[in-house]
């Protein structure tokens, strides 16, 4: 049963998704900290905490907390805090002390937080909203008691860990994706783009085709960094879950060669984080969904896993949890109108497009919901969880904008709605660049490349089927409060235009302009951001006058509508050229 409990918490934790840890023995040790009967717990009290934690960092408080019965440990005591710089970190959390780090005897707050999340996701510990604390569950105690004499996992521990993994919905989602055919072999990007609530910050995926083209055109010194670090949040989750499953023998990591095309030219690269399901993985998946003689494994769902980022995450979590409550408490198929009425009775006024996207998101996190004749059937079993209803919930202007655009996207996949989030997050500027290029090349019929890096524009696009083909130099800017196009960045665009016009290797030896085909002789420029403020129009007009080419500023919402109009057959490349590059701001919304 899903219970609605009014709560007055000012801050909610980020549970439900894990990014860093993969060591199963360390996970078992973390769970054992919560069990007074375990050797690990006694070791923490008698030697580890006294040795690693200074009194000023909480030694006495931690030992006192670990000795209390019944044992409930507060989040702040478990995770501790960060230090700047990281190299100066001291151990100031119980879980920091419980796990040995690389090059030191403890881990810092971020991996400690993720170990707590992991134990919670697998149902080994449970959370109390009233006092921000955790305690061990029956399944957690069973895992602790299954420990053998060796450091290696016992067979019983492996069995319990597999069962716990199968109760975590995203694990089932990943296994399901990998089992679609006998030959299924997926990269982390191919899994990530189908994992979570696609189309919002917190569930982003690097566009694989754009990534492979970028790799092919990168300097040799950049390639290893790109392969190691360039990924969206859902790609990270996919990689992490696959690592757990690999450690449990349910999937294998097998590098995959990926080829993408740009016109008549192909680009090929190998993506190491790619996976196939094993025979034990198929058996485990069948067991999880209750095939043959097996009972379906009940899934652990928590309110926090239903949205991870943004000022509206409590609103989104609650809306999605209410949809899940409506579906799970009905034995028959449910229409979207019934769901909308249920939401409205709880203070949420939504439409069928929003409901449909939320249900797709629930499916993408691994919850079985079937759709037939426009009605939804909950076909799963979930353990009880709480909706900690905040004192007040209101839809922000930001969410209103996304939902207004969502209603208009009838041909464009809604995964591109994440561009609206990315356009306001400067920490994800590279992903914003790449998804913008992906939108234009994969959905709007242009050819093009993400460039970026030193002395290159963010990207270029061009046509190849028009009577007179044209190219566009693109600069994307992610700013939280809008983009005013300062003189320095207008000058930078002017330099790129000039380099393309003169094509003098003495001015810029990287020759980025050679990515334009020789028959493209007409050019434009484009700035893309969340929205524009200040004196940006005069800067665009100045660039146009100085370089004798037209350009535009386009808010990402309008770019989405422009691509939607192209896919609907309402705009052609020629019409886009005429209407968009107006030396001002192009607006459709």
Q: Domains along the chain?
A: 2-151 (3.90.241.10), 169-288 (3.90.241.10), 303-388 (1.10.10.10), 412-586 (3.40.91.30)
Contact predicate 459/448, CB 8 Å: yes
Catalytic residue numbers read: 458, 475, 477
Contact predicate 22/244, CB 8 Å: yes
Contact predicate 366/289, CB 8 Å: no
Contact predicate 351/340, CB 8 Å: yes
Beta bridge partners of 2: 385
Contact predicate 162/250, CB 8 Å: yes
d(CA 448, CA 511): 16
Instruction: Please give the pLDDT value at position 9.
Output: 63
SS3 at position 327: helix
Measured in whole angstroms, how far is the alpha carbon of residue 51 from the centre of its chain? 38
* Strand spans (E) along 77-234: 125-128, 133-136, 186-187
Per-residue CA distances from 182 to 188, 244, 369, 454, 518 (Å)? 18, 21, 24, 44, 44
Per-residue CA distances from 404 to 319, 353, 557 (Å)? 17, 10, 10
55-94 residue pLDDT tens: 999 999 999 999 999 999 999 999 999 998 988 899 999 9
Angle at 328 between CA 292 and CA 286, to 5 degrees: 20
DSSP state of 532: B
Predicted model pTM: 0.93
d(CA 223, CA 226): 5
Instruction: Please give the pLDDT value at position 341.
Output: 97
Measured in whole angstroms, how far is the alpha carbon of residue 318 from the centre of its chain? 19
Question: Is the pLDDT confidence value at 96 over 80?
Answer: yes
Q: Count Cβ atoms below 10 Å from residue 258 Cβ, excluding itself.
A: 19
Mean pLDDT of the chain: 94
Beta bridge partners of 126: 135
Greater confidence (219 vs 322) lies with: 322
DSSP β-ladder status, 186-187 and 133-136:
unpaired
Instruction: Please give the pLDDT value at position 494.
Output: 97
Of the listed ranges 110-119, 403-412, 448-457, 473-482, the one predicted with least confidence: 448-457
d(CA 395, CA 343): 13
Structure-derived torsion over alpha carbons of residues 45, 46, 48, 54, reported in degrees to the nearest 10: 80
249-278 residue pLDDT tens: 999 999 999 999 888 889 899 999 999 999
Question: Is the pLDDT confidence value at 392 over 80?
Answer: no
SS3 at position 19: coil
Contact predicate 95/114, CB 8 Å: no
pLDDT (average), residues 427-432: 93
Of 115, 105, 17, 16, the C-alpha closest to 73 is 115
Here the contacts of 132-136 (C-beta below 8 Å, separation 24 or greater) are 132/9, 132/13, 132/74, 132/75, 132/76, 133/72, 133/73, 133/74, 133/75, 134/34, 134/72, 134/73, 134/75, 134/78, 135/34, 135/70, 135/71, 135/72, 135/73, 136/31, 136/34, 136/35, 136/71
d(CA 506, CA 396): 51
25-60 residue pLDDT tens: 999 999 999 999 999 999 999 999 999 999 999 999
Instruction: Please give the pLDDT value at position 589.
Output: 57
Question: Is the pLDDT confidence value at 283 over 70?
Answer: yes
507-561 residue pLDDT tens: 999 999 999 999 999 999 999 999 999 999 999 999 999 999 999 999 999 999 9
Question: Is the pLDDT confidence value at 151 over 80?
Answer: yes
- Give the chain's length: 589
Please report where in the chains the tokens 């790129």 appear, as a residue. 496
Contact predicate 541/494, CB 8 Å: no
């Amino acid at each position: 049963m899903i219970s609605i409990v009014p709560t007055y918490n000012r801050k909610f934790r980020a549970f439900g998704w894990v990014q860093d840890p993969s060591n199963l023995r360390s996970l078992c040790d973390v769970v054992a900290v919560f069990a007074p009967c375990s050797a690990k717990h006694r070791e923490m009290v008698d030697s580890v905490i006294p040795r690693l934690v200074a009194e000023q960092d909480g030694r006495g408080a931690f030992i006192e907390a670990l000795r209390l019965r019944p044992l409930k440990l507060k989040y702040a005591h478990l995770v501790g805090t960060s230090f700047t710089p990281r190299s100066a970190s001291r151990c100031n959390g119980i879980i920091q002390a419980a796990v040995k780090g690389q090059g030191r005897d403890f881990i810092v707050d971020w991996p400690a937080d993720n170990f707590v999340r992991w134990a919670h996701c697998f149902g080994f510990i449970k959370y109390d909203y009233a006092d921000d604390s955790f305690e061990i569950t029956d399944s957690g105690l069973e895992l602790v008691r299954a420990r053998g004499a060796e450091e290696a996992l016992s067979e019983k521990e492996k069995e319990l860990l597999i069962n716990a993994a199968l109760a975590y919905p995203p694990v089932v989602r990943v296994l399901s994706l990998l089992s679609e055919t006998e030959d299924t072999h997926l990269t982390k990007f191919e899994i990530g783009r189908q994992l979570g609530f696609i189309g919002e910050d917190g569930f982003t995926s690097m566009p694989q085709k754009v990534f492979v083209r970028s790799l092919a055109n990168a300097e040799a010194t950049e390639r290893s960094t790109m392969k190691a670090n360039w990924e969206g949040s859902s790609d990270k989750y996919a990689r992490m879950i696959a690592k757990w499953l690999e450690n449990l023998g349910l999937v294998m990591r097998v590098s995959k060669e990926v080829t993408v095309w740009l016109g008549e030219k192909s680009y090929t690269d190998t993506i190491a984080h790619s996976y196939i399901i094993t025979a034990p993985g198929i058996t485990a998946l069948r067991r999880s969904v209750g095939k043959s003689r097996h009972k379906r494994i009940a899934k652990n769902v928590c309110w926090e896993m239903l949205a991870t980022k943004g000022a509206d995450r409590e609103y989104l979590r609650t809306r999605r949890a209410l949809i899940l409550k409506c579906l799970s408490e009905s034995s028959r198929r449910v229409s979207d109108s019934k769901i909308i009425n249920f939401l409205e009775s709880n203070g949420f006024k939504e439409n069928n497009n929003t409901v449909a996207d939320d249900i797709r998101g629930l499916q993408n996190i691994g919850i079985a919901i079937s759709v037939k004749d426009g009605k939804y059937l909950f076909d799963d079993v979930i353990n009880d969880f709480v909706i900690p209803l905040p004192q007040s919930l209101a839809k922000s202007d930001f969410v209103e904008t996304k939902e207004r655009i969502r209603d208009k996207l009838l041909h464009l996949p809604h995964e591109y709605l994440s561009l609206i989030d990315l356009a306001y997050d400067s920490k994800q500027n590279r992903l914003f660049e790449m998804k913008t290029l992906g939108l234009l090349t994969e959905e709007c019929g242009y050819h093009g490349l993400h460039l970026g890096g030193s002395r290159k524009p963010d990207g270029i696009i061009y046509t190849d089927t028009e009577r007179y083909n044209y190219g566009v130099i693109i600069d994307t800017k992610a700013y939280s409060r809008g983009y005013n196009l300062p003189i320095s960045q207008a000058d930078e665009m002017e330099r790129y235009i000039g380099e393309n016009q003169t094509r003098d290797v003495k001015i810029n030896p990287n020759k980025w302009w050679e990515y334009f085909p020789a028959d493209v002789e007409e050019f434009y420029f484009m700035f893309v951001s969340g929205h524009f403020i200040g004196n940006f129009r005069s800067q665009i007009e100045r660039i146009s006058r100085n370089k004798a080419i037209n350009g535009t500023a386009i808010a990402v919402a309008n770019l989405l509508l422009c691509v939607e109009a192209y896919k609907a057959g309402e705009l052609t490349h020629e019409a886009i050229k005429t209407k968009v590059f107006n030396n001002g701001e192009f607006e459709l919304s």
